[in-house]
Amino acid sequence: MNSLELRASKAQTDARGLVERLGVHNISLLVALAILVVIFGSLRGDVFFSSRNLLNIGLGITILGVLAMSQTVVIVGGGLDIAVGATVGLTTVSTAMAIQATGSPAAGIVAGLVLGGLAGLVNGIIITYGRVNAVIATLGTMAIFRGIAFIMSDGQSIAIFSDTFRFIGIGRILGLPLLVWILVLTAIAFHLFLARSIVGRNIYALGGNPVVARFSGININRYRVGIYIMSGVAAGLAGILLAARTGSGQPVSGSQGLELEAITAAVLGGCALQGGKGTIVGALLGVAIIGVLNNGMILTSVPTFYQLLAKGSLLILAVVIAEYHLNRT
């Protein structure tokens, strides 16, 4: 074999290694993302590729990214959390009220995380010990959490007068928004947790086959409650970031279909709704696709009603593709 053939063989080996590392599904998501970029770039290239717009896309997917990653863990564990959007609204209000009452940003952050965790605990107890279907349970608590947010705030927006807290939402480090750095660090933490830790492997086992998981010594009730507490804390973090970005706590925050987009991103990223399958990398690619789609539709002045139509269609398409892959394996 001559040197040219050796280089060709090495290139083929490297290509196969890259495909194996990324996975066929993630590569198909990258192709879909590239197609969207080409479409919107050709329609509004003057604005779409500007540094300001690219930063806007990064900022726009921060909240959704946190929710999609936690939703991925919930779905991998065999559950579903439809109440995350309402939890975001509830935690923006609690964060703003705590800062207004104490003047301390730390108190606001603690209030948001604790209330988010309590909301997740309620979901976990109802689903695990009440034996209520996750969809029904979180649909019910979604309405309850949203109602509590309106009662707490009397239906009004609560302004946050703290420059320190506002820095979380509008500050920059090394030229990039702090929110983007937080998303990156959160993604690394979620990836290591789900893919590299024993707890993460047990969550895959729980979602894949709960009976086998139980006989393997996994306390499935504790895991199920823990997964929903994690989802609530992540929704609390998303609420804190949203409150820092907008400078206010608003009970209507998260009511614009955040839960729908988070589930869409997770399923689009390869999560099987039956549980036991999904990755954080896939979820982030799903978030990027939704972020580019949202941004592109706004730039090309697509009417709001048609945007909802596109998002709903994307969710159905993602589920159909996920079912197709599931039936093939």
Q: Which of 7, 18, 60, 21 is CA-nearest to residue 299?
A: 60
Residue position matching structure tokens 């580019």: 292
Beta-bridged to residue 248, according to DSSP, are 159
Beta-bridged to residue 249, according to DSSP, are 158
143 versus 7: which is more confidently predicted? 143
Where in the sequence is the domain holding 226, given as residue range(s)? 61-255
pLDDT tens track for 255-275: 668 888 899 899 888 888 888
Kindly state whether residue 26 falls inside one of the protein's structural domains: no
Question: Average pLDDT of 302-327?
Answer: 77
Q: What is the DSSP pairing of strand 248-249 with strand 172-173?
A: unpaired
Highest mean pLDDT among 13-22, 50-59, 106-115, 250-259: 106-115
- Where are any strands of DSSP class E within the chain? 158-159, 172-173, 176-177, 248-249
CB atoms within 10 A of CB 3: 7
pLDDT tens track for 92-142: 999 999 999 999 999 999 999 999 999 999 999 999 999 999 999 999 999
pLDDT of residue 328: 63
Question: Average pLDDT of 298-313?
Answer: 84
Integer Cα distance of 185 and 165 in angstroms: 19
User: Inter-axis angle of helices 84-102 and 258-268, to 10 degrees?
Assistant: 130
Kindly state whether residue 261 falls inside one of the protein's structural domains: no
pLDDT of residue 220: 93
Kindly state whether residue 169 falls inside one of the protein's structural domains: yes
Question: Average pLDDT of 7-11?
Answer: 63
- Sequence-distant (6+) residues with CB within 8 A of 9 are 1
pLDDT tens track for 24-49: 778 888 888 899 899 888 888 788 88
pLDDT of residue 313: 84
Kindly state whether residue 21 falls inside one of the protein's structural domains: no
pLDDT of residue 43: 87
Instruction: With a cut of 60, say whether residue 15 has pLDDT above it.
Output: no
pLDDT of residue 138: 95
The token pair at 67 is: 């929710």
Question: Average pLDDT of 218-228?
Answer: 95
Alpha carbon distance, N-terminus to C-terminus of the chain: 38
Q: What sign does the dihedral 251-257-263-266 (CA atoms) show? A: negative
Tally of structural domains, the chain: 1
pLDDT tens track for 155-192: 899 999 889 999 999 999 988 899 999 999 999 999 99
Question: Average pLDDT of 10-28?
Answer: 66
Is residue 20 very low, low, confident or very high in pLDDT (cuts 50, 70, 90)?
low
pLDDT of residue 5: 66
Integer Cα distance of 238 and 81 in angstroms: 15
- Sequence-distant (6+) residues with CB within 8 A of 60 are 291, 294, 295
Kindly state whether residue 239 falls inside one of the protein's structural domains: yes
Kindly state whether residue 194 falls inside one of the protein's structural domains: yes
Kindly state whether residue 94 falls inside one of the protein's structural domains: yes
Kindly state whether residue 52 falls inside one of the protein's structural domains: no
Instruction: With a cut of 70, say whether residue 244 has pLDDT above it.
Output: yes
5 versus 147: which is more confidently predicted? 147
